[in-house]
């Protein structure tokens, strides 16, 4: 028995906040995780309930403790443990065999956020797969519309720091639900409100903040672009646009104005399902308030109009003249604040074919020349999180496909693997992480030794690179050296190292509070904000700021959105969630379908069906149904989740995901 020790750590999981943690460890086990009071002005002792309970994830029944080999039929869950040596030998042999017989492109590495740390992604994994000449994965499941718009318009200019929202007179929370997805904004908004700030929420659901808002615009999913354009048009038309700012600091304002012209308040309100009066109130409030800040989230982007919607929302503060004051402007992702590069880029390797991850199902079932023979899933629970789930499942079931899943828990995807490799969690390996809401950068040492035989990504991919013969052990930088490279790549290596040294194995948190257009300018070549950048044009069918209406074929159906909940991060921790999760819909939509509270219903479209209880609630606007993101198959009656209904259609620019373009019918389930 050893006395409990409190170890400093940081949460690298896919969330804007990047909390500083105090982890209590006893006998090599996590006994408690709390938010650190010091080291981080955002965390301030507050962390989410999921990570507070992470011991159940790290030490729970769903943990993969050893490498496993499939013994029964695919997908039926028959696995036997095998040694790491045998597992690595087998996987390396399959990788080499695929490359030699079918070409490297028959291999597809599939990964997304995972722990979202920087040592566990784009390091030795990139080395292995690029040297094998594997197909490349376009990581499009998230943040493509937001990233493209922010890059083309501002070169990813740093956003308003969340603590600076306390200075705002008006806060607009647009398509994000901080109560679930970034909790530290909630007390900040509350403090600003206590000081008299107004709050507007734009969301099809009455979220925790919408309940308290001065104005809640419950837009139809996918219609934000016309709402923002109507506001822009009105600002110009009523001479409340900041023409001096537009002339001095932007390009493209005339083109933007021209494209906004058709969107009168009345017409936009009709398309977005709003009352024209409330839309006008929003514009008046926005025009009259300064500092005014828009917290733009990712709920806006997950549909066919995502790119134009994000662009129009980012243009709003430029037209309204809201920059240049503390607490005024916008926040989107602040991921651009840290330029991090571990230096494992493909270098001179010839570019291989690229596969859009939103089309995984199609890639596994229909791709030719060569067909995919080996799928290596890590840092992702693909079957739970990728659209067109039934096609993905069909792909995973394909004989002739060899699937490796490298994860810390027995995910839905792992059940379809041929080989499962046990991964460490971020509490068991060294990690470097950065916030994308918070301006933080953390280095955290392992809090506990690896659980079971689990190993970290860095080590496993390095070993596979050696075993496949694509690299020698001597030429692969160590994990420690890679960490140094990452720190140096920020351009602030010395300062960061000094800060780290002062804190032992601690966690530096670098606070920054830039005022947009004062402390930071767009990182575009002319340092101006580009309001109509050609990079965002989607051709004749999808011009920038063009609104793509609902396809007429799905008229009358409900728009199924699948936002994040406070129980999971994407699908991470889904094994700990409740057995049954309801679909939420408005009582009027339920009544029209003869559905009562708690009824077992079938949510369906051409792609699939999900059988769940119905929950009737006025917190969802009419015409919309909600099934959360990140469910596992165990959480519905038929094992399918929202992604069984989500189309694998793409945004015209960038190939981004359109989860919230799912259109469904709901009826009483038979039986």
Ligand X SMILES: Nc1nc2c(c(=O)[nH]1)N[C@H]1C(S)=C(S)[C@@H](COP(=O)(O)OP(=O)(O)OC[C@H]3O[C@@H](n4cnc5c(=O)[nH]c(N)nc54)[C@H](O)[C@@H]3O)O[C@H]1N2
Q: Which residues bind ligand X (CB under 6 A)?
A: 14-15, 112-115, 120, 141-142, 174-177, 180-182, 202-205, 207, 219, 221-222, 224, 297-300, 302-303, 378-381, 384-385, 406-409, 411, 423, 457, 561-564, 566, 568-572, 629-630, 642-643, 646, 659-660
Helix axis angle for 457-467 and 479-489, nearest 10°, is 110
Find the shortest distance in angstroms from Cβ 243 to ligand X: 28
* 204: partner contacted, choices ligand X, Mo ion, none (Cβ within 5-8 A by kind): ligand X
Cα(409)–Cα(15) distance, rounded to whole angstroms?
20
Q: What's phi and psi for 70, nearest 5 deg? A: -65, 135
Q: Which residues contact 36 (CB under 8 A, 6 or more apart)?
A: 8, 19, 20, 21, 22, 43, 45, 507
Find the shortest distance in angstroms from Cβ 142 to Mo ion: 3
Q: Which residues contact 195 (CB under 8 A, 6 or more apart)?
A: 166
Give the number of other Cβ atoms within 10 Å of residue 96's Cβ: 15
* 418: partner contacted, choices ligand X, Mo ion, none (Cβ within 5-8 A by kind): none
Give the number of other Cβ atoms within 10 Å of residue 341's Cβ: 13
Q: Which is nearer to Mo ion, 140 or 440 (CB)?
A: 140
Q: Which is nearer to ligand X, 58 or 246 (CB)?
A: 58
Find the shortest distance in angstroms from Cβ 367 to Mo ion: 25
Q: Which 3 state secondary structure label does DSSP give 391?
A: helix
Q: Which is nearer to ligand X, 333 or 516 (CB)?
A: 333
Q: Which stretch binds Mo ion (CB under 5 A): 139-147, 430-438, 502-510, 555-563?
A: 139-147
* 22: partner contacted, choices ligand X, Mo ion, none (Cβ within 5-8 A by kind): none
Q: Which residues contact 358 (CB under 8 A, 6 or more apart)?
A: 140, 141, 386, 387, 648, 650, 655, 656, 657
* 274: partner contacted, choices Mo ion, ligand X, none (Cβ within 5-8 A by kind): none
* 656: partner contacted, choices ligand X, Mo ion, none (Cβ within 5-8 A by kind): none
Q: Which stretch binds Mo ion (CB under 5 A): 136-144, 178-186, 312-320, 660-668?
A: 136-144
Find the shortest distance in angstroms from Cβ 29 to Mo ion: 30
Find the shortest distance in angstroms from Cβ 641 to ligand X: 7
* 649: partner contacted, choices Mo ion, ligand X, none (Cβ within 5-8 A by kind): none
Q: Which is nearer to ligand X, 312 or 318 (CB)?
A: 312
Cα(168)–Cα(291) distance, rounded to whole angstroms?
5
Q: Cis peptide before 291, with omega less than 30 degrees from 0?
A: yes
Cα(341)–Cα(333) distance, rounded to whole angstroms?
18
Which residue in 142, 67, 588 sits closest to 332, CA to CA? 142
Find the shortest distance in angstroms from Cβ 429 to ligand X: 7
Burial category of 526 from C-beta neighbours within 10 Å (exposed 0-12, middle 13-18, buried 19 and up): exposed
Q: Which is nearer to ligand X, 24 or 459 (CB)?
A: 459
Cα(199)–Cα(360) distance, rounded to whole angstroms?
40
Q: Which is nearer to Mo ion, 142 or 374 (CB)?
A: 142
Q: Which is nearer to Mo ion, 180 or 465 (CB)?
A: 180
Find the shortest distance in angstroms from Cβ 14 to Mo ion: 6
User: What is the DSSP code string of 585-628?
Assistant: E-HHHHHHTT--TT-EEEEEETTEEEEEEEEE-TTB-TTEEE--
Binding to Mo ion by residue 487, rule CB under 5 A?
Answer: no
Q: Which is nearer to ligand X, 408 or 515 (CB)?
A: 408
Q: Which 3 state secondary structure label does DSSP give 346?
A: coil
Residue nearest to ligand X (CB): 299
Binding to Mo ion by residue 142, rule CB under 5 A?
Answer: yes
Q: Which is nearer to Mo ion, 355 or 569 (CB)?
A: 569
* 569: partner contacted, choices ligand X, Mo ion, none (Cβ within 5-8 A by kind): ligand X
Residue nearest to Mo ion (CB): 142
* 205: partner contacted, choices ligand X, Mo ion, none (Cβ within 5-8 A by kind): ligand X
* 226: partner contacted, choices Mo ion, ligand X, none (Cβ within 5-8 A by kind): none
Output the six-digit token pair for 350: 């010839």
Give the chain's radius of gyration (CA, Å).
Answer: 25
For 130-245, where are the E strands, in sequence order?
Answer: 136-138, 170-174, 198-202, 215-217
Q: Which 3 state secondary structure label does DSSP give 650?
A: strand
DSSP code, position 424: P
Find the shortest distance in angstroms from Cβ 227 to ligand X: 8
* 403: partner contacted, choices ligand X, Mo ion, none (Cβ within 5-8 A by kind): none
* 620: partner contacted, choices ligand X, Mo ion, none (Cβ within 5-8 A by kind): none
Q: Which is nearer to ligand X, 34 or 407 (CB)?
A: 407
Q: Which is nearer to ligand X, 299 or 577 (CB)?
A: 299
Q: Which is nearer to ligand X, 14 or 169 (CB)?
A: 14
Which residue in 128, 1, 29, 9 sits closest to 426, CA to CA? 9
Cα(100)–Cα(104) distance, rounded to whole angstroms?
7
Find the shortest distance in angstroms from Cβ 659 to ligand X: 4
* 130: partner contacted, choices Mo ion, ligand X, none (Cβ within 5-8 A by kind): none
Residue with tokens 């590495």: 109
Handedness of CA 235, 237, 243, 247 (dihedral sign): positive
Q: Which is nearer to ligand X, 411 or 635 (CB)?
A: 411
* 336: partner contacted, choices ligand X, Mo ion, none (Cβ within 5-8 A by kind): none
Give the number of other Cβ atoms within 10 Å of residue 262's Cβ: 15
Which residue in 12, 43, 79, 104 sits closest to 425, CA to CA? 12
Cα(528)–Cα(220) distance, rounded to whole angstroms?
32
Residue 661 · residue 548 · CB < 8 Å: no
Q: Which stretch binds Mo ion (CB under 5 A): 137-145, 226-234, 307-315, 610-618?
A: 137-145
Find the shortest distance in angstroms from Cβ 24 to ligand X: 21
Binding to Mo ion by residue 300, rule CB under 5 A?
Answer: no
Residues that bind Mo ion (CB under 5 A): 142
């Amino acid at each position: 028995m050893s006395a409990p020790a409190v170890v400093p750590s940081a949460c690298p999981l896919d969330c804007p906040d990047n909390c500083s943690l105090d982890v209590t460890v006893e006998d090599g086990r996590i006994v408690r995780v709390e938010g650190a009071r010091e080291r981080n002005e955002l965390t301030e002792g507050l962390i989410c309930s999921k990570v507070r309970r992470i011991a159940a994830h790290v030490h729970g029944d769903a943990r993969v403790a050893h490498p496993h080999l499939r013994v029964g039929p695919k997908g039926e869950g028959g696995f036997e443990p095998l040694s790491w040596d045998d597992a690595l030998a087998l996987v390396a042999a399959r990788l080499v065999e695929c490359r030699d017989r079918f070409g490297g492109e028959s291999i597809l590495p599939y990964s997304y956020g995972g722990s979202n740390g920087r040592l566990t992604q784009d390091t030795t994994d990139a080395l292995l797969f690029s040297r094998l000449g594997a197909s490349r994965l376009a990581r499009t499941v998230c943040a493509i519309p937001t990233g493209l718009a922010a890059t083309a318009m501002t070169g990813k200019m740093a956003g308003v720091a969340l603590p600076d929202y306390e200075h705002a007179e008006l806060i607009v929370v647009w398509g994000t639900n901080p109560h679930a997805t970034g909790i530290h904004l909630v007390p900040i908004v509350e403090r600003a409100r206590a000081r008299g700030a107004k709050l507007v929420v734009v969301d099809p659901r009455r979220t925790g903040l919408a309940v308290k808002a001065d104005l809640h615009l419950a837009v139809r999913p996918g219609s934000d672009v016309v709402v923002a354009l109507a506001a822009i048009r009105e600002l110009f038309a009523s001479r409340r646009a900041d023409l001096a700012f537009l002339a001095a600091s932007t390009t493209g304002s005339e083109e933007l104005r021209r494209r906004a012209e058709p969107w009168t308040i009345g017409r936009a309100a009709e398309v977005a399902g709003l009352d024209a009066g409330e839309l006008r109130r929003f514009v008046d409030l926005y025009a009259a308030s300064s500092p005014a800040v828009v917290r733009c989230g990712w709920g806006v982007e997950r549909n066919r109009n995502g790119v134009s919607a994000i662009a129009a929302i980012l243009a709003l503060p430029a037209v309204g003249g809201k920059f240049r004051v503390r607490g005024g402007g916008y926040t989107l992702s602040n991921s651009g604040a840290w330029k991090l590069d571990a230096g494992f880029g493909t270098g001179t390797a010839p570019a291989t074919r690229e596969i859009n991850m939103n089309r995984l199902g199609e890639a596994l079932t229909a791709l030719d020349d060569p067909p995919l023979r080996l799928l290596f899933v890590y840092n992702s629970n693909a079957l739970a999180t990728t659209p067109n789930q039934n096609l993905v499942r069909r792909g995973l079931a394909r004989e002739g496909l060899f699937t490796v899943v490298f994860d810390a828990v027995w995910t839905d995807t792992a059940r379809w693997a041929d080989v499962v490799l046990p991964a460490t969690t971020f509490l068991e390996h060294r990690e470097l992480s950065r916030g994308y809401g918070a301006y933080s950068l953390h280095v955290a040492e392992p809090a506990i030794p690896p659980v079971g035989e689990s190993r970290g990504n860095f080590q496993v991919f390095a070993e596979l690179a050696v075993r496949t013969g694509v690299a020698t052990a001597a030429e692969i930088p160590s994990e420690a050296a890679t960490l140094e490279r990452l720190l140096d790549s920020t351009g602030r290596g010395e300062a960061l190292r000094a800060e780290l040294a002062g804190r032992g194995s601690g966690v530096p948190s670098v606070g920054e509070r830039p005022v947009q257009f004062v402390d930071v300018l767009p990182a575009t070549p002319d340092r101006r904000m580009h309001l109509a950048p050609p990079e965002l044009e989607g051709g004749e069918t999808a011009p920038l700021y063009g609104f793509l209406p609902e396809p007429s074929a799905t008229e009358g159906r409900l728009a199924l959105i699948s936002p994040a909940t406070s129980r999971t991060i994407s699908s991470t921790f889904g094994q700990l969630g409740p057995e049954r999760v309801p679909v939420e819909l408005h009582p009027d939509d339920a009544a029209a379908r003869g559905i009562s509270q708690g009824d077992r219903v079938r949510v369906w479209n051409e792609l699939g069906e999900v059988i769940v209880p119905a929950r009737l609630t006025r917190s969802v606007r009419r015409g919309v149904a909600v099934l959360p993101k990140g469910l596992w198959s165990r959480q519905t009656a038929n094992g399918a989740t929202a992604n069984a209904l989500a189309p694998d259609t793409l945004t015209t620019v960038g190939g981004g995901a359109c989860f919230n373009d799912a259109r469904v019918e709901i009826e009483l389930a038979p039986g």
